[in-house]
Structure 1
Amino acid sequence: MGVMPTCICGTVRKSRGRCRWPGRPSQPAGTTRQPSPSSPPGLANPVAKRSAQSCMQRSGAPSCCDARGDLTVSEAVFSVQRAPIYTESDRKHIQLRTIVVLIASQTAGGFGLVATYIVSALLAQDITGSATLGTIAASCLSIGSAVVAVPMSRLMNRYGRRPGLRFGYLVGAAGATAAVLGAILVNYPLLCLGVFGAGAGNAANLATRYAASDLAPEHRRAMMISLIVLATTFGSATGSGMSGITSYVGVSLGLPDKTGAYVVAGIMFLVAAAIVELFLRPDPMHVAEDLANSAQLAANAGPAQPAPSTREAVSLIWQKPEARLAVFAMVVSQLTMVGVMALTPLHMDAGGQSQSAIGMMMAVHIFGMYLFSPLVGILTDRIGSYPMLYIAGGFCTWGAWWAAVTPPEGVLGVFMGNFLVGLGWCFGVVAGSNLMVALYPLHQRVAVQGVGDFAMLGSGAAAGLSSGALYTIFQYSGVNYANAAFGLALILATFFTYTGVQRAMRRPHHQQPATAVGG
């Protein structure tokens, strides 16, 4: 039969069995590649060593290379099955498929998220009779999102985007189930636990925007992020408008009032998990890694760098003023949005407004958050992130102030105030996310993205937790004046960061290539 040519790592080269490391010398099967005399012990073949480690991580099968990277292909090379190699010509097709799948999952997840948020505070208030405990229950959604963000990013770092997103949506479905049980048993702690678990679905929804950017070209990265943000409009707005209907569905099934929203949320989270599991193939993060590794090998840059730990990711963010600004922008956007939105249902309820009116207010707020995101993405790609962050701070300030001066029975002020705060959130999150992605290479992005989302969602959780007590002390207007001050702080932070970066770039012999990307 003759000797079949094999790659440097022992993979038989067949028509559809190409190795992940093309362009390297071949050798006959059953032989061992000897280390170079100039190579130090233990580093005889870094390329083969990287290939062996990648093979074991991806498939779990024993590697065809030994621990030093030397070839030991006495084992049957046919037992090692490697992922097909991807080229730049594959990028556009895979990216389009990825965007379509993420839009579908985001639509389902957005419906489930808003359906739970609207009724959480009201249902908890019905159980306990306390507005403060009601806001604490609603804030458990943000707390769960923040807590799940870090382990989900670790899953993505190790296994790819698909396992991480699937994990978030499944935990969200389990949380919605626990919330239904808490409502049936009139158990406030169990209800809070369920809302906490449902927050994992929110974390998965937010993480999809980064999955959309893995394969996006640099000049269209913000546009890809904004398309995923836009997809939430359909599910979230539908969930807001149907909040009253879902409650009637629950009552018709014999469940307590307002519980039907959790039933629908659990179903939609399961749908989102199924979409990701079945159709997010190939994993965009794996494709991006393959393309990056191929580029490194072509440039003789050596094996890929390891991903940083969570502590290292925090250090990486702290070292760059632009990264600190990106995280601060997302924090202010989330904190202001949650701070205004969490108290508005209670404010409107105190003015005698119906649940349908509250649902319509939430729909207008959701439109502000998501509907204009493609325009925001296009502008961010064209004029940069810094101008968009100025606009984000302005909208957050204006919206919070307008809501603050509106009485409980007022309609226009709470509707437009929440719309403007949502629009400010859109500008801040899209521009901040784009700046964060542009600052770091591929192997560092997932870790810093997880830390950034943890900070953003954690700030929202803090706003939700404190809003009830602050509402009791300072009333609706006082809390929103404080939210407006955070918007002003974002404007000042953007100004000082931008001027500092420009001064640093004008210094002689100063090299800071990442700063030019953010605009």
Structure 2
Amino acid sequence: MSPQDSAADTLAASPAPATRRNAVTLSCLQALGGASPAIVIALGGLAGQQLASRPELATVPVTAYSLGLAFGTIPAALVMRRLGRRYGYVIGVLLGMAAGLIAAGGIYLQAFSLLCLGTLCAGLYSAYVQSYRFAAADAAAPQFRTRAIAWVMVGGLFGAIIAAQTIIYTRGIWPAAPFAASFVAQACIALVALPLVLSLRIAPPAAAARQAHGGRPLAQIARTPRFMVAVLAGVISYGLMNFLMTATPLAMVGCGHTVSDATLGIQWHILAMYGPSFFTGRLIDRYGKIAITTTGVALIGVACSVALSGLSVAHFWGTLIVLGLGWNFGFIGATSMVTDCYRPEEKSRVQALNDFLVFGSVAVASFSSGQVMARGGWHAVNFAVYPFVAVVLLALAWLWLRERRGGTGLPA
């Protein structure tokens, strides 16, 4: 290789300053936007328990959040396709602010339905937040896309920290309306994101509108092997992570461990989910998207094996840590695979379909987890995971063999 070729390769591997700036800004937005669901999931059930007419309705606010996320993905994509990502994200931020204020008002007024409306709006806000990773990829050169996605996902780690500290310092401010101040703080965190959104340098609405037309029919794209396997891997990675994560605190308390032990386990889980993002992109560049996605899905199966090997605090924590690591590799790898499946004019439709399927599975998983746990116990929860892991591993192996033989199915 000549010195000129080497220098060209080095330059190609380095992101342009504007690309790097956008990725960092989107990572900061992910941190602020990621605090919203963490607050809802941590406090939604507790607030619901105070306001619900029946105990079994206590988790409805969290379910409302999941439904808002699942059903908000396609409308969010339509808004961004028409107005551009930047102004779409402004609408998302406004929804985030409204979510916190409405939920706080519901707690203050003792109105359960208003609390649920607030958490539903938080889900709609998250539908915009979840597209940050695609925005970073779309603005980057092909060789930097995977690392741009990983950079954005790093923001989720800081989002969990922001949420935890927000809850600690605000939950008792108004004793007459517990947790209301935390939801007001959630609205303030969304407000902080507004100047960052306005500083983004993404294609203007006119360019976005021109890209929205043309391209292949969505049904044709959805039938391509790489897209089908990528979506399957994303759905299973996120769905199984949520399925196990939801059941673990219940299982720990049921086995006699303290709520503090369960809370600390979830904290370790979140660190394992987002911490590896510092190097996941480089691993994908080195070993390939299919290889890292396969590793992530396999680790989810390993997490179940750890869970089935004992019921001590160490076993539960080990399960959550391995599960978080598996989600990171599986979800980032699957997202990177999806970015290979569309042309620029097709991106909004394909990304919306992917996120609708992925986050729709999260709503199903969170509901199913409680049902399986109540009827079959902790062991049944873990045994239920293995068939899904096996199906995805077989699909990834099939895709790898197919592409190795030359049939990539990537868009021209």
Equivalence for 1:300: none
- For the structure 1 residues 151 and 359, does the alpha-carbon distance in structure 2 shift closer, same or farther, using more than 3 Å as the test? same
Amino acid at match of 1:367: L
1:494 aligns with 2:396: yes
- CA RMSD in angstroms comes to 2.9
Match of 2:320 in 1: 418
Q: Are 1:454 and 2:350 an aligned pair?
A: no
Give the distance between the partners of 1:264 and 1:275, measured in 2 at CA: 18
State the TM-score, normalized to the length of structure 2: 0.87
Q: Post-superposition shift, 1:267?
A: 1.5
- Quote the residue 2:199 is aligned against: 279
Residue 366 (str. 1) matches residue 270 (str. 2): yes
**Alpha carbons 1:337, 1:422 under 8 Å: kept:** yes
Counterpart of 1:271 in structure 2: which amino acid? V
Structure with bigger gyration radius: 1
SS at match of 2:227: helix
Please give the alpha-carbon distance, in whole angstroms, between the structure 2 residues aligned to 1:273 and 1:406.
47
Where do residues 252-331 of structure 1 align in structure 2 (5 Å cutoff)?
252-276=173-197, 278-280=198-200, 282-283=201-202, 285-286=203-204, 306-307=213-214, 312-313=217-218, 315-331=219-235
Q: What letter corresponds to residue 26 of structure 2 in structure 1?
A: L
Tell whether the 8 Å contact from 1:133 to 1:468 is kept in structure 2 after alignment. no
Check 1:135–1:463 CA distance in 2 against 1; reply closer, same or farther (3 A cut).
farther
Who is 1:431 aligned against?
Answer: 333
Residue 123 to residue 452, structure 1, CA distance change in 2 (3 Å): same
Which stretch of the first structure deviates more once superposed, 254-263 or 410-419?
Answer: 254-263
Tell whether 2:312 aligns with 1:389: no
Closer, same or farther: CA 124–114 of 1 in aligned 2, 3 Å: same
What is aligned with 1:36? none
With over 3 angstroms needed to count, the CA separation of the structure-2 counterparts of 1:444 and 1:255, relative to structure 1, is: farther
Asked if the contact 2:97–2:188 (Cα under 8 Å) also holds between the matched residues in 1, the reply is yes
- Which residue in the other structure is 1:54 paired with? none
C-alpha separation between the residues in 2 aligned to 1:235 and 1:463?
A: 23
Following TM superposition, by how much is the alpha carbon of 1:436 offset from its aligned partner in structure 2, in angstroms?
Answer: 1.0
1:149 matched to 2:73: yes
Cα displacement string for residues 127-173 of structure 1 (whole angstroms, at most 9, x for unaligned residues): 44867534443232222111111111112222211122222232232
Higher relative contact order (CA closer than 8 Å, sequence separation 6+): 2
Q: Given the superposition, is the C-alpha separation of residues 415 and 131 from structure 1 closer, same or farther in structure 2, using an over 3 Å criterion?
A: farther
Following TM superposition, by how much is the alpha carbon of 1:513 offset from its aligned partner in structure 2, in angstroms? 6.1
Partner of 1:69: none
- SS of the equivalent of 2:130 reads helix
Q: CA deviation at 1:439?
A: 2.1
Q: Kindly provide the amino acid, as one letter, of the partner of residue 370 in structure 1.
A: Y
Q: CA deviation at 1:442?
A: 0.8
Which aligned pairs between 1:32-431 and structure 2 lie closer than 5 A? 92-128=16-52, 132-240=56-164, 242=165, 245-246=168-169, 249-276=170-197, 278-280=198-200, 282-283=201-202, 285-286=203-204, 306-307=213-214, 312-313=217-218, 315-351=219-255, 355-403=259-307, 407=311, 410-431=312-333
Indicate how the Cα distance of structure 1 residues 452 and 490 shifts in structure 2: closer, same or farther if over 3 A, else same.
same
Q: In structure 2, do the counterparts of structure 1 residues 492 and 358 end up closer, same or farther at CA, with 3 Å as the change threshold?
A: same
**Structure 1 match to 2:8:** none
Contact 1:385 1:431 in 2 (8 A): yes
Paired AA for residue 278 in structure 2? P
Deviation, structure 1 residue 105 = 1.4
Kept in 2, the 8 Å contact 1:109–1:205? The answer is yes
> Is the contact between residue 395 and residue 421 of structure 1 (CA under 8 Å) also seen in structure 2?
yes
Q: What is the TM-score of this pair, normalised by structure 1?
A: 0.70
- Kept in 2, the 8 Å contact 1:174–1:197? The answer is yes
Identity of aligned residues (%): 26
Q: Is the 8 A contact 2:82 2:205 kept in 1?
A: no
Residues paired across the two proteins, number: 399
* Long gaps (5+) in structure 2: 1-11
Contact kept in structure 1, 2:100 and 2:122, CA below 8 Å = yes
The separation in 2 between residues aligned to 1:112 and 1:305, in whole angstroms, is: 30
CA distance in 1, matches of 2:53, 2:301: 32
Structure 1 residue runs of 4+, over 6 Å off?
none
2: distance between equivalents of 1:287 and 1:97?
20
> Corresponding residue for 1:509?
none
Cα 1:209–1:358, aligned 2, differ >3 Å: closer, same or farther? same
Q: Partner letter of residue 103 of structure 1?
A: S
Deviates more, 1:484-493 or 1:222-231: 484-493
Contact kept in structure 2, 1:166 and 1:273, CA below 8 Å: yes
| Matching of residues 441-480 of structure 1 within 5 Å | 441-480=343-382
Further displaced range: 187-196 or 415-424: 187-196
How far apart are 1:181 and its partner, in Å? 2.6
Stretch deviating more after TM superposition (451-460 or 230-239): 230-239
Q: Deviations over 1:429-448 (max 9, x none)?
A: 21111111122111111210
Counterpart Cα distance in 1 of 2:273 and 2:159: 13
3-state DSSP of counterpart to 1:448: helix
**1:464 aligned counterpart, secondary structure:** helix
Mapped contact 1:131–1:468 kept (Cα < 8 A): no
| Closer, same or farther: CA 452–349 of 1 in aligned 2, 3 Å | same
Report if the CA contact (8 A) 1:329-1:429 is conserved. Answer: yes
Partner amino acid, structure 1, of 2:221: I
CA separation of 1:339 and 1:488: change in aligned 2, threshold 3 A = same
Query: Counterpart of 1:5?
Result: none
Distance in structure 2 (CA, Å) of the matches to 1:165 and 1:174: 14
Counterpart AA for 2:295: I
Q: Does 1:514 align with 2:410?
A: yes
Report if the CA contact (8 A) 1:344-1:414 is conserved.
yes
Describe the SS at the equivalent of 2:300: helix
Deviation of residue 401 (structure 1)? 3.8
SS at 1:438's partner residue?
A: coil
Query: Matched residues in 2 for 1:243 and 1:344: separation?
Result: 24
Structure 1 pair 226–180 and aligned structure 2 pair: CA distance change class (3 A): same
Q: Deviations over 1:378-416 (max 9, x none)?
A: 111222211112101111112234345554xx4222222
Secondary structure of 2:263's counterpart equals: helix
Q: Distance in 2 between matches of 1:256 and 1:352?
A: 31
- Native 8 Å contact 2:296 2:327 kept in 1: yes
SS at match of 1:325: helix
